[in-house]
Amino acid sequence: MLRTTALYSKLKAHGIPCSEIISMSNHTTMQVGGIASVVAFVRNAEELITSIREAKNHYVKFVVIGNGSNVIFSDDGFDGLVIITGNMKNFTIEGNIIKADCGASVSRLAVAAQKAELSGLEFAYGIPGTIGGGLFMNAGAYGGNISDVVVSSLCYDTQRDCIRKIDLDEHEFKYRESIYSKNPHLIIIAIMMELVPGKMSDIIAEMNKNVRARKEKQPLEFPSAGSVFKRPLGYYAGEMIEKSGLKGFSIGGAEVSEKHAGFIINRGTATAKDVMDLIEHIKKTVFENYEVELECEVRFIGN
Ligand SMILES: Cc1cc2nc3c(=O)[nH]c(=O)nc-3n(C[C@H](O)[C@H](O)[C@H](O)COP(=O)(O)OP(=O)(O)OC[C@H]3O[C@@H](n4cnc5c(N)ncnc54)[C@H](O)[C@@H]3O)c2cc1C
């Protein structure tokens, strides 16, 4: 029996919701990418850890994703286990403290904070990811970053096979980086955040302003993975791409958005290869014009 099929049977026996032969284009916002051998839709920390332990027991490689809004799977897919955390979405609010499981939606947490009259997550309203993905990426927008609100996080150390608490100063936060993006063996389980009391009307006004700006500036009507590139020091990637004349430039079904040149959109028929070829073309063109190497914010999984 194939190792992945044996793993699938084992996860089923544990009662973990999972499926075989799943197209990752259905589980990523860019909507490209091939087939994953097994996908587990874990609901709690126990299922997350069991899935990882079983993958290791079966010598099957694994990857953990949240909402797939910053990842692109290759067209060859992923011959292993993809663990999706979107069902690990519990959270509590006590006083100024929010404790959230890694799969909780960042935007839902922002709304819950607003209802509790807590300020600090307004910037995150509209980011289409989970709080785990947000912590991994140190996601940010409109002057705020996840690092501004994190107090600590809990992770599963897959090398040491133990749960660890990571305190604020251990997170190694930088622009779109955290200890997690540098140490893929650490899998985020939960996050503790501290917000500050705020005035409900001010919080709502700020959230509405941010979401309006998103709708105005971002091509939300098309599948995408958000801003493809990190902001280079002293520049804006979108502006460099636009000034390089690449707005609307396409390869296959992947196109540089007319609305925001920092976004690549899927016109419906894009493959992961189209997206990657377009990224390479953009990098080359921008380098020729500015001698600046654009670095991808989007992460690639598979070949
Ligand atoms: C329309 C649009 C707008 C966007 N706007 C913004 C924005 O304003 N600011 C911004 O920063 N980003 C933005 N993004 C990108 C993306 O939404 C964020 O990076 C988000 O935080 C990713 O969360 P996710 O749950 O989708 O992570 P995924 O894409 O699923 O994963 C991202 C990375 O985190 C890892 N990961 C996920 N969960 C875990 C876990 N529990 N443990 C360990 N590793 C994990 C994955 O392996 C992967 O490497 C946007 C994307 C889109 C499509």
Nearest protein CA to atom 43 of ligand 1, as residue: 187
With CA atoms as reference, report the closest residue to 228 among 183, 265, 194. Answer: 265
Angle 171-175-179 from CA coordinates, rounded to 5°: 25
Residue extent(s) of CATH 3.30.465.10 domains in the chain? 91-202
Nearest protein CA to atom 10 of ligand 1, as residue: 139
- pLDDT, one tens digit per residue, over 35-71 is 999 999 999 999 999 999 999 999 999 999 999 999 9
Q: What is the pTM of this model?
A: 0.97
The length of the chain is: 303
Ligand 1 within 6 A of CB of 30: no
The half-sphere exposure of 51 on its side-chain side, counting CA atoms within 13 A, is 30
Q: Could you give the residue numbers annotated as active site? A: 176, 227, 297
With CA atoms as reference, report the closest residue to 179 among 164, 194, 193. Answer: 164
Ligand 1 within 6 A of CB of 133: yes
- Measured in Å, residue 1 CA sits from the centre of ligand 1 at 35
Domain 91-202 in this protein, CATH class = alpha beta
Ligand 1 within 6 A of CB of 226: yes
- Measured in Å, residue 255 CA sits from the centre of ligand 1 at 21
Q: Which atom of ligand 1 is nearest to the CA of 86?
A: 25
Q: Which atom of ligand 1 is nearest to the CA of 48?
A: 41
How many angstroms from the chain centroid is the CA of residue 255? 21
CB 265 within 8 A of CB 255: yes
Which CATH number fits the domain 219-301, given the four candidates 3.90.78.10, 3.40.50.300, 3.40.190.10, 3.90.550.10? Answer: 3.90.78.10
The SS3 of residue 181 is: helix
**Per-residue pLDDT, 1:** 66
Helix/strand number for the chain, H first, E second? 8, 19
- pLDDT, one tens digit per residue, over 252-281 is 999 999 999 999 999 999 999 999 999 999
Nearest protein CA to atom 6 of ligand 1, as residue: 127
Of 71, 136, 163, 185, the residue with max ligand 1 atoms within 8 A of its CB, to mutate for a pocket test, comes to 136
Ligand 1 within 6 A of CB of 130: yes
Which CATH number fits the domain 3-84, given the four candidates 1.20.1070.10, 3.30.43.10, 3.30.450.20, 1.10.3720.10? Answer: 3.30.43.10
Residue extent(s) of CATH 3.30.43.10 domains in the chain? 3-84
**Which residues, 6+ apart, have CB-to-CB distance to 1 below 8 Å?**
none
**Per-residue pLDDT, 265:** 98
Q: Which atom of ligand 1 is nearest to the CA of 299?
A: 49
Strand 144-145 vs strand 250-251: parallel, antiparallel, or unpaired?
Answer: unpaired
- pLDDT, one tens digit per residue, over 218-260 is 999 999 999 999 999 999 999 999 999 999 999 999 999 999 9
